[in-house]
């Protein structure tokens, strides 16, 4: 008989943990499946991209998004917190010619999953979490984002109660594009602040 694969080992451990939680009465039967189904159905980078595209096309929407990101996202059916958990605050920070925003969670890896999809490995790494705070300009340069000395870099630290998303600047040459055409340009890394939005589809995933 073949040895179980690593994925099979993980699946078995998860199943055992779920069984223990059920026996202790900490979760209800089927609750885990419901949470996973809801997450897979609603957590995607497309959600954050939709918010940004709408903001680029509607200045009033952009102002509302920055003023109260949680309310605006909820109005479009986008929750920030997982199903069954208290809602967390969403703060949207806008890039300008003078200010560039970048996100981190220095304590762990708090992240707006439902707006940006699964977090990249580098976001969770201790190296990124420490270096982006100490030397954001050099760290961003390693991602290929070179900012001039006149640009102020603001680092926003997520918590268990507050999630952040960057509202990147709209690239030149996209004035005639519709919302549907803008959305594919807006990638996860731009919403985290480690990249800019290109004028054409492509760039860092």
Rounded to whole angstroms, what are the CA distances from 170 to 72, 74, 119, 176, 199? 20, 23, 23, 12, 9
pLDDT category at 45 given cuts 50, 70, 90 is: low
Higher confidence at residue 145 or residue 14?
145
**Listed range (20-24, 91-95, 122-126, 196-200) with the worst mean pLDDT:** 20-24
Return the CATH fold of 43-192: Nitrile Hydratase; Chain A (3.90.330)
Spatial separation of the C-alpha atoms in residues 198 and 109, rounded to whole Å: 26
Mean per-residue pLDDT for 51-64?
98
Spatial separation of the C-alpha atoms in residues 125 and 118, rounded to whole Å: 14
Domain boundaries, the chain: 6-39, 43-192
SS (H, E, C) 124-144: HCHHHHHHHHHCHHHHHHHCC
- Residues forming the active site: 105, 108-110
Spatial separation of the C-alpha atoms in residues 60 and 55, rounded to whole Å: 8
pLDDT category at 79 given cuts 50, 70, 90 is: confident
DSSP reduced 3-state for 145: coil
Higher confidence at residue 139 or residue 16?
139
Residue 68 confidence (pLDDT): 96
Q: Is the pLDDT of residue 118 over 90?
A: no
Contact 23, 30 (CB under 8 A): no
| Report field, pTM of the whole predicted structure over 0.85 | no
Spatial separation of the C-alpha atoms in residues 63 and 61, rounded to whole Å: 5
In tens, the pLDDT along 126-150 reads 999 999 999 999 999 999 999 999 9
- Identify the CA nearest to 57 among candidates 65, 46, 69: 65
Take residue 129 and report the two structure tokens written for it: 């979490």
Rg (CA), the chain: 19
Spatial separation of the C-alpha atoms in residues 116 and 100, rounded to whole Å: 19
Contact 174, 166 (CB under 8 A): no
Residue 114 confidence (pLDDT): 83
| CB neighbour list of residue 157: distance below 8 Å, 6 or more residues apart | 104, 105, 106, 133
Q: Is the pLDDT of residue 95 over 70?
A: yes
pLDDT category at 50 given cuts 50, 70, 90 is: very high
**Listed range (1-5, 138-142, 144-148, 152-156) with the worst mean pLDDT:** 1-5
Spatial separation of the C-alpha atoms in residues 126 and 107, rounded to whole Å: 9
């Amino acid at each position: 008989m073949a040895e179980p694969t690593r994925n099979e080992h993980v699946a078995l451990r998860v199943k055992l943990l779920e069984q223990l939680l059920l026996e202790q009465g900490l979760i209800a039967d089927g609750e885990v499946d419901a949470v996973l189904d809801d997450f897979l159905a609603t957590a995607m980078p497309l959600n954050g991209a939709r918010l940004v595209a709408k903001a680029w096309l509607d200045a009033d929407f952009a102002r509302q998004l920055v003023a109260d990101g949680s309310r605006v996202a909820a109005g479009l059916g986008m929750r920030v917190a997982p199903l069954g958990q208290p809602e967390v605050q969403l703060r949207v920070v806008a890039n300008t010619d003078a200010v560039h925003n970048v996100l981190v969670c220095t304590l762990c890896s708090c992240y707006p999953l439902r707006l940006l999809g699964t977090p990249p490995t580098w976001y969770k790494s201790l190296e990124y979490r420490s270096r982006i705070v100490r030397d954001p300009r050099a760290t961003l340069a390693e991602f290929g984002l070179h900012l001039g000395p006149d640009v102020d870099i603001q680092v926003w630290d997520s918590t268990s109660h507050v999630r952040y998303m960057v509202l990147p600047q709209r690239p030149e040459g996209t004035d005639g594009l519709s919302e549907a055409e803008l959305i594919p340009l807006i990638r996860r890394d731009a919403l985290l602040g480690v990249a800019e939005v290109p004028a054409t589809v492509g760039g860092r995933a």
